[in-house]
Chain A
Amino acid sequence: MVTTSPSDPMTELATPVESPAKASPSTKANNPNPIAEQDAMIEIDDVSFSYDMGKTNVLKNISFNIPAGKVTALIGPSGCGKSTLLRCLNRMNDLVDTSKVTTGQIRIMGQDINAHDVDPIELRKQVGMVFQKYNPFPKSIYENVAYGLRIQGIKNKARLDEAVEKSLQRAALWNEVKDRLNSSALGLSGGQQQRLCIARTIAVNPRIVLMDEPCSALDPIATARIEELIAELQEEFTIVIVTHNMQQATRVSDRTAFFYLGELIEYDDTTTIFGNPSVTQTEDYVSGRFG
């Protein structure tokens, strides 16, 4: 298990490299209340991204900082690049052979995550991900949560037990499953399976949790439980969530970024984005006028 302490940021990833000169800071129009560098967990700096080796960019010169210990929502119509950006944050896009960050840098706690000496596996231990469709392993509830710890080499039963219980409690699932930890995870309800996936993600103590439409397959009650969980987890983790549900973005997030056609249109406090956005495109999208 990667056991980076808060005072020892990301040392497992690689030695920090020199940051390039500040490239194209976001314009004041689309980022009127920027997050200061010292408050940022993630710095996205002039990032462009392509799925076809640079022929066409699906993300175009994106620049904004994601604050530590807060929930940041990425919103926008389908195809706007929000999920692509999310997957850039833990280099999930590396799994697509022709994909490429064509310009800029993504820095997590000051470290360029695309530097040649950064190990993506180590990166993903620090930047966990929860997907749209809950995807527990076909194993017991216990083994699902213990999986990440086991592959980090932890074999001590007492330590595993403790970590599994703590993770399930943090994911607000412990009371529902404590008497059937050895039952198959696939026997849980959809909402419980998604919370199990969150428990599995946070068991390895990541710094950041990425969520790609984590409630879109859940009913309203299960959705409310996940949203409540997000509110509790933000004290320990920096959370970035992609959602199509704008009410959900207003409920769970502190900051919201609106994307359209691969561009960051506006980034501000969530109450401003949904109450008084600066850019007409944002206003049209959040108020349902987008044609």
Chain B
Amino acid sequence: MNSAPHIIKDFDLALAELKNDVLTMAAKTRHNLERAIQALLGRDAELSNSVIADDDEVDELERVIDKAGMSLLVKYHPMASDLRFVVSSMKISMNLERISDHATNIAKRAKKIIATAELIDVTLVEPVYTLADELLRDAISSFSDGNGVLGASLHVRDKELDKLYKAATAQFGDRIEDTQGRSQEYVHLIFIVRSLERVGDLASNIGEDSVYLDRAKDIRHMSRGERELT
């Protein structure tokens, strides 16, 4: 992104504030996801409740970012990379809000699993979470640094997450058949890894928005070859 200052200083301030709000929202979202998994693995119902409660902060930040974006469009008529930055910020905040919703879903299901006897197989969620979190971290970096190459890489890496998700779902499905009386918990675990798989999809969307921000190129729904950045 062009880093030269604008003639109107308030324009620079408004853009910086918008970026700060998106990064704050991203940090809170990632933190919510991390704590939801910690709650599941550590059998911590209180932590689950915190994640569920803190989702409101992320929802509020989505509203703040939309309002700030609209205000920038109305007041300063941004052009070129500034326009792409405002549009990308608003789209990224929408994806972050949905990721935080998935963190809340995971926390709610964690509470239900915690309420029953300890289940060793919850640890099978961990590698799925680790990769989903890596994708989310890199998606946020690609936006923060305007790094289109990193953003474009997420789509391929999301395929790896899909494989992990399918393997984990298959394992949980087998356990439902093998074990007596724990099917409810395994169904919750299937939905938890499903949420993590969706986090990967949404991180990939953020990566695509970062490519648009950096290169003005819309790579959505393109084949692997077409997504290559020169």
| Pairwise interchain contact B7-A275, C-beta atoms closer than 8 A | no
Distance in angstroms between the alpha carbons of A284 and B84 in the assembled complex? 14
| Pairwise interchain contact A287-B82, C-beta atoms closer than 8 A | yes
| Pairwise interchain contact A289-B216, C-beta atoms closer than 8 A | no
Distance in angstroms between the alpha carbons of A286 and B83 in the assembled complex? 11
Interface residues of A in 242-291 (CB under 8 A from B): 246-247, 274-277, 280, 282-284, 286-291
> Which of B63-71, B73-81, B105-113, B183-191 contacts its partner?
B73-81
Nearest CB of chain A from residue B88's CB, rounded to whole Å: 13
- Give the A-B contact count at a CB cut-off of 8 A: 45
B180 at the interface (CB under 8 A from A): no
What residues of B have a CB within 8 angstroms of the CB of A286 in the complex? Answer: 79-80
Distance in angstroms between the alpha carbons of A275 and B84 in the assembled complex? 8
Interface residues of A in 210-241 (CB under 8 A from B): none
Distance in angstroms between the alpha carbons of A30 and B84 in the assembled complex? 22
What residues of A have a CB within 8 angstroms of the CB of B8 in the complex? Answer: 288
| Pairwise interchain contact A288-B76, C-beta atoms closer than 8 A | yes
A282 and chain B: residue at smallest CB distance? B80
What residues of B have a CB within 8 angstroms of the CB of A274 in the complex? Answer: 79-80, 83
B217 and chain A: residue at smallest CB distance? A276
| Pairwise interchain contact B81-A288, C-beta atoms closer than 8 A | no
The prevalent SS among residues of B at the interface is: loop
| Pairwise interchain contact B83-A283, C-beta atoms closer than 8 A | no
B6 at the interface (CB under 8 A from A): yes
Distance in angstroms between the alpha carbons of A289 and B4 in the assembled complex? 7
What residues of B have a CB within 8 angstroms of the CB of A288 in the complex? Answer: 6-8, 11, 76, 79
| Pairwise interchain contact B77-A275, C-beta atoms closer than 8 A | no
Q: How many residues of B contact A (CB 8 A)?
A: 17
B5 at the interface (CB under 8 A from A): yes
What residues of B have a CB within 8 angstroms of the CB of A246 in the complex? Answer: 77, 79
What residues of B have a CB within 8 angstroms of the CB of A291 in the complex? Answer: 7
Query: With A246-B79, A274-B79, A275-B84 in contact, is A287–B6 under 8 Å at CB?
Result: yes
| Pairwise interchain contact A275-B216, C-beta atoms closer than 8 A | yes
The prevalent SS among residues of A at the interface is: helix
Q: Per a CB cutoff under 8 Å, which of A247, A275, A289 touches B2?
A: A289
Distance in angstroms between the alpha carbons of A246 and B4 in the assembled complex? 20
What residues of B have a CB within 8 angstroms of the CB of A289 in the complex? Answer: 2, 4-7
B11, B76, B79, B216 pick with most chain A CB within 10 angstroms = B79
Query: With A287-B6, A288-B7 in contact, is A247–B80 under 8 Å at CB?
Result: no
| Pairwise interchain contact B77-A283, C-beta atoms closer than 8 A | no
A284 and chain B: residue at smallest CB distance? B4
What residues of B have a CB within 8 angstroms of the CB of A287 in the complex? Answer: 2, 6, 78-82
Interface residues of A in 87-131 (CB under 8 A from B): none
| Pairwise interchain contact B5-A283, C-beta atoms closer than 8 A | no
Distance in angstroms between the alpha carbons of A280 and B81 in the assembled complex? 11
Distance in angstroms between the alpha carbons of A276 and B82 in the assembled complex? 10
One digit per residue, 1 when the CB lies within 8 angstroms of any chain A CB and 0 when it does not, for chain B 1-34 equals 0101111100100000000000000000000000
| Pairwise interchain contact A283-B80, C-beta atoms closer than 8 A | yes
What residues of A have a CB within 8 angstroms of the CB of B79 in the complex? Answer: 246, 274-275, 286-288
A276 and chain B: residue at smallest CB distance? B216
B78 and chain A: residue at smallest CB distance? A287
Nearest CB of chain B from residue A282's CB, rounded to whole Å: 8
Nearest CB of chain B from residue A220's CB, rounded to whole Å: 14
What residues of B have a CB within 8 angstroms of the CB of A290 in the complex? Answer: 7
What residues of A have a CB within 8 angstroms of the CB of B4 in the complex? Answer: 284, 289
One digit per residue, 1 when the CB lies within 8 angstroms of any chain B CB and 0 when it does not, for chain A 149-193 equals 000000000000000000000000000000000000000000000
B6, B80, B83, B84 pick with most chain A CB within 10 angstroms = B80
A246, A280, A287, A290 pick with most chain B CB within 10 angstroms = A287
Nearest CB of chain A from residue B72's CB, rounded to whole Å: 12
Distance in angstroms between the alpha carbons of A286 and B80 in the assembled complex? 7
One digit per residue, 1 when the CB lies within 8 angstroms of any chain A CB and 0 when it does not, for chain B 26-56 equals 0000000000000000000000000000000
What residues of B have a CB within 8 angstroms of the CB of A280 in the complex? Answer: 2
Query: With A275-B216, A289-B2 in contact, is A283–B81 under 8 Å at CB?
Result: yes
Distance in angstroms between the alpha carbons of A247 and B216 in the assembled complex? 20
Query: With A287-B2, A289-B2 in contact, is A276–B80 under 8 Å at CB?
Result: yes
Ranked nearest first, the 7 interchain pairs of A and B with the lowest CB-CB distance are A276-B216, A286-B79, A289-B4, A287-B79, A283-B80, A287-B80, A287-B82
21 of the cross-chain contacts (CB-CB < 8 Å) are A246-B77, A247-B77, A274-B79, A274-B80, A274-B83, A275-B83, A275-B216, A276-B80, A276-B84, A276-B216, A284-B2, A286-B80, A287-B6, A287-B78, A287-B79, A287-B80, A287-B82, A288-B76, A289-B2, A290-B7, A291-B7
Chain A residues proximal to chain B, CB less than 8 Å: 246-247, 274-277, 280, 282-284, 286-291
9 other A-B residue contacts (CB within 8 Å) besides A275-B84, A287-B79 = A246-B77, A247-B77, A275-B80, A280-B2, A282-B80, A287-B81, A289-B2, A289-B5, A290-B7
